[in-house]
Amino acid sequence: MGPAATYFRNIKDAVVSIFDGMAVTASHLVRRPYTIQYPDRIPVRVQDTLPFRYRGILDVDLEICTGCLACDRACPIDCIAMAIEKNAQTREITISQFDIDIAKCMYCGLCSEPCPTGAIHHTTEFEGADYSLESLIRRFVVEPVVAYKPKKGPEPDAAVAKLLERGMTYVDEWAQPGSDKPPAAKAAPAPAPAAKPVAEAKPAPLKPVSPTADAVKAGAETKDADSRTDGNNGTGNEGASS
């Protein structure tokens, strides 16, 4: 193939590749657009389309918070600050501080897993932009409140029962392994203990058996019969010798 043919072939390949790319671009002019006009040009909010277990900004329902400090201890980066006071007489726990620094939170979910009532949980809210870091500290306690004490029976307060039902649903879903949480590995069964050697049974010592009355009588009769036989044998021998 000569140089001229190669030159015109390269021109043809370039034109064809350009038209292929432009055809893909032009096809989107007649297709339905995939772009979501955020935030106010969609019929449903994006937050309402997210799943229940979405790890958004943390929220706390103080009405069902027990003040156990489990979330504070579980946070790996100390973005939760709590302060409680326990009355020695009434044994009531008063929560005087419950702050969450959203600027430090890494949305790991470790604080919501050990919560016994689901008071602290992630929401579907993700708009946390602000003008200062101090404004990203969420302060949930305005004035000291008494911590929630779980009832033995059903919760009498309807509003608190609704929050408790939502919180326990959240806890149950976190406790169960899902598609993104592999099930815990089962512990290997403990090895069976080695069988102990069985000791050979020793024969029981024989006890002397006392002869019964019948046996004594039978022995005496046998002895008398033997003595008669010996006497007869002696008499016969004397006659033969004479």
pLDDT number for residue 151: 84
Is 145 in contact with 201 (CB distance < 8 Å)?
no
pLDDT number for residue 51: 87
CA 104/CA 47 separation, integer angstroms = 22
The string of pLDDT tens digits covering residues 13-35 is 999 999 998 998 888 888 887 77
Identity of residue 193: P
Domains of the chain: 47-175 (3.30.70.3270)
Q: Which residue carries 């897993």 as its tokens?
A: 113
Burial level of 205, CB count in 10 A (0-12/13-18/19+)? exposed
**DSSP H or E segment with residue 100:** strand 93-101
Count Cα atoms within 13 angstroms, Cβ side, for 209: 6
Closest CA to 98 of 63, 136, 58, 138: 138
Is 37 in contact with 118 (CB distance < 8 Å)?
no
pTM of the predicted protein model: 0.56
- What stretches of 55-197 show up as alpha helix (H) in DSSP? 70-74, 158-175
129 or 227: which leads in pLDDT: 129
Q: Work out the pLDDT band at 237, boundaries 50, 70, 90.
A: very low
* Average confidence score pLDDT of the chain: 78
Map 27-50 to HEC letters: HCCCCCCCCCCCCCCCCCCHHHHC
Query: What residues have CB less than 8 Å from 145, skipping those under 6 apart?
Result: 62, 94, 95
CA 116/CA 114 separation, integer angstroms = 6
The string of pLDDT tens digits covering residues 152-172 is 888 888 888 899 888 888 888
